Amino acid sequence: MNKFLDKINARIAAKKTFVCIGLDPDLDRLPKQYRADAEPILGFNQYIIDATKDSAACYKPNLAFYEMHGLRGLKALTATLKYIPAEIPVILDAKRGDIGSTSRAYAKAVFEEFGADAVTLAPYMGGDSLAPFLEYQENYSFILCLTSNAGARDFQKPKLYKKVAAKIQEWHSRYGNCGAVAGATHPEDIASIREIIPEAFLLIPGVGAQGGDLEHTVRAAGNKNHSGFIINSSRGIIYADDPAAAAAKLQQEINKLV
């Protein structure tokens, strides 16, 4: 049994939503009433979770926005994770990857200490750097394949991301619990990743603030069950004047295309 797959599939079925909401609180951008709070990050996250939980397939806090505040930030993360309803899966966006003994420590941090259902990983160091995460049978790992930033052209394109996709497919065949991060900036590349990885989940950032094309992205992303993907929006939802409406709008826009 895989906690992440059980939860996300149940969530997609029950709520018909493919929306992943990035909980990336930047103090400078929080509405005034939270900035003055004793626990600004937790207060803001609770407000976002309350507003968006009916549209959320999953939540994805990026560790950076918590680590930057040291112990205080990590406490806010722990409290945020507790506040997320148990039936909504959590992807901890960590982009970790290190030699085996060190990756074991990171995997323990992410899956045991924080109790996340899933994680994001960086593939540069190869299969043995990811194995300690994949050995957590109940959890899921999203491995960077093609990212949505301009720097994707430095190394990932034109060829490396396809080699990484092929490895992800190999690891998925062996472990059954990993998929790919596939940026939405170029939907034709998502199609080529989906060809290499026919079944596993794709986590797709880059719509909204980063400007990806939703229609072509969704059409390229689905597996044969018209599922197996989630589309992330962080800033486009959490800093909207009405986060509930922004999340529901993205949910409906995606659903029209599935």
- Closest CB to its own copies among 234 and 251? 234
Helix or strand run (H / E) with residue 34: helix 32-35
CA 251 to chain centre: 16
Task: Report yes or no: 141 and 134 within 8 Å, Cβ to Cβ.
Answer: yes
List Cβ neighbours of 137 (8 Å cut-off, separation of 6 or more): 1, 2, 175, 177
Q: How far is the CB of 235 from its own copies (least distance, A)?
A: 8
Task: Name which position in 4, 34, 44, 106 contacts its own copies (CB under 8 A).
Answer: 106
Task: Name which position in 33, 137, 149, 252 contacts its own copies (CB under 8 A).
Answer: 149
Q: How far is the CB of 10 from its own copies (least distance, A)?
A: 28
- Closest CB to its own copies among 17 and 156? 156
CA dist 106 and 194 (Å) reads 28
Helix or strand run (H / E) with residue 233: strand 229-233
Task: Report yes or no: 91 and 118 within 8 Å, Cβ to Cβ.
Answer: yes
Q: Is 189 in the site for its own copies (CB under 8 A)?
A: no
Task: Name which position in 6, 9, 81, 125 contacts its own copies (CB under 8 A).
Answer: 125
Classify 205 as helix, strand or coil: coil
Active site residue 95: yes
Classify 59 as helix, strand or coil: strand
With CB under 8 A as the rule, give the number of residues binding its own copies.
56
Catalytic-role residue among 3, 7, 95, 167:
95
Q: How far is the CB of 32 from its own copies (least distance, A)?
A: 21
How distant, in Å, are the alpha carbons of 19, 80, 85, 235 from that of 151? 25, 31, 35, 20
Q: How far is the CB of 57 from its own copies (least distance, A)?
A: 21
- Closest CB to its own copies among 5 and 200? 200
Binding residues for its own copies, per CB under 8 A? 24, 26, 62, 64-65, 67-71, 74-75, 78, 93, 95-103, 105-106, 108-109, 112-114, 122-130, 144, 147-156, 160, 163-164, 167, 205, 210
Which residues are identified as catalytic? 95
